[in-house]
Amino acid sequence: MKKVFAVALAAAALALPALGHAQAAEAVDAADSGDTAWLLASSALVLLMTLPGLTLFYGGLVRAKGFLAVAIQVGAIAAISSLLWIVVGYTLAFGPVSSGWLGGGSAWMLGQLGNVREGTLIPESGFALFQMMFAAITPALMVGAWVDRARFGWVVAFCALWGLIVYAPVAHWIWGGGWLASRLGTMDFAGGIVVHTTAGVSALAAALLLGKRTGFPRMQMLPHSPALTMIGAAMLWVGWFGFNGGSSLTATDDAASAIINTHAAACAAALAWLAIEKISIGKPTSVGFATGAVAGLATVTPAAGYIAPGAAILFGLAAAAVCYPMILLVKRRLIIDDSLDVFAVHGMGGIVGSLLLAVFLEPSLGGIGYNAGMGLTRQLFAQAAGVGVVAAWSALGTVICALAVAMVIPMRVTEDEEREGLDLTSHGERAWEFE
């Protein structure tokens, strides 16, 4: 009997380590496959926004002799930004929090990633991939500010430096547990501040530094292909479902709500823009529809997962009401050659949406409610402070990056190169006419 008991005890002792290893493996392998699949799909949708979407949207708005220059700039920016994100950008933005200004350096080259991102049920590698797509599209948005006149080498080097000096710190301040979110309570669901405010304000600063295109504003510089712009806007619209829906980091009703709000805001803004055009210029235009839709998408982005669909419609209407006159103000009154209205559409859209968020978080208006210790007044202050700080840092960082790179690579092409067209003078190609 004693021998039987001893054998049983020994078997139990041997089984305990195996059981412990099984429990440890189960604890480590905690990623949810559904959430992970949705995040990977969303990453692909955001890349769709950047490469074909933004390329066609901007490319259709420029003159034919500058289409390929826009395409190669968007592609090169996405490529260099992605590589730098792997090397150092991710850890600066989402590494361990210390002072709240920059993330710790434990994830250089995406090494030492956790099995799951803390506070989520998704692999940290999947989270890093999703955020990489944001880091790629944000500087690419600025391309619309300097078309026809910025030197290609300067563009790539500037955007590479800008991603590390402007984008990564701001992402940490708000999304990475940094000081704006943790101390002030600033909220940004999918990038109204981190993406659109940084890109919009920086685009305006870059346009001022570069100066006007030759002939602006006397010469009309009409879009060479509104059809391409419509196709690009359609791709942006579809991709934005991943941009905002993926930011929920779950394949649940949170993602569905964010997508519904995204679509509602885009629909409302596009139709309102057409109505404004009908009243102001006598007819609705395809470029107006595309621009209005993008303005609505940018405006609802900071709030997409926090508000009700009815509020999202109001966000879209606000986008048209603010962004349309801002285009006229920047170009006609201030005579700033932000060529494709990056600040007026993306910058102002992100700013307006970030401020409206404070109001429509209210549960009686269908919002998810305020965080503990916050209310309308405190949240409005937090949003305004976040927008103000990020706008100021974006402008300052842009000046520093632009002038630093300009010491090595001139910012502008020559007047002759500009007149001939960058497709030919910078890249040896003519749009639609390959030799």
Give me the phi and psi of 430, to 5 degrees please.
-110, 140
Q: Of the candidates 418, 29, 1, which has an alpha carbon nearest to the alpha carbon of residue 211?
A: 418
Beta strand residue intervals within 235-393, DSSP E: none
Distance of CA 336 to the CA centre of its chain: 23
The number of C-alpha atoms within 13 Å of 21 and in the hemisphere containing its C-beta is: 4
pLDDT value of position 247: 97
- Residue whose pair of structure tokens reads 């890249």 in the numeric block: 427
Residues 48-87 as b/e (b if ≥16 CB within 10 A, e otherwise) read bbbbbbbbbbbbbbbbbbbbbbbbbbbebbbebbbebbbe
pLDDT tens per residue, the chain (435 residues)?
444 444 444 444 434 343 344 333 344 558 899 999 999 999 999 999 999 999 999 999 999 999 999 999 999 999 999 999 999 999 999 999 999 999 998 899 998 898 999 888 999 999 999 999 999 999 999 999 999 999 999 999 999 999 999 999 999 999 999 999 999 999 999 999 999 999 999 999 999 999 999 989 888 888 999 999 999 999 999 999 999 999 999 999 999 999 999 999 999 999 999 999 999 999 999 999 999 999 999 999 999 999 999 999 999 999 999 999 999 999 999 999 999 999 999 999 999 999 999 999 999 999 999 999 999 999 999 999 999 999 999 999 999 999 999 999 999 999 999 999 899 988 986 544 444
- Distances from the Cα of 116 to the Cαs of 7, 27, 32, 35, 96, in angstroms? 40, 10, 9, 11, 14
> What is the rounded radius of gyration, in angstroms, for the C-alpha atoms of the chain?
24
What are the tokens at 30? Answer: 């905690």
Nearest to 269 by CA among 327, 305, 313, 301: 313
Buried b / exposed e along 352-390 (16+ C-beta atoms within 10 A): bbbbbbbbbbbeeeebbebeeebeeeebbebbbebbebb
Q: Tokens 């949003």 belong to which residue?
A: 383
Q: How far apart are CA 211 and CA 89, in angstroms?
A: 30
Nearest to 301 by CA among 340, 346, 341: 346
* DSSP state, residue 189: S
Domains for the chain: give ranges and CATH numbers. 31-425 (1.10.3430.10)
Task: Indicate left, alpha or beta for 149 from its phi (over 0: left) and psi (-120 to 50: alpha).
Answer: alpha
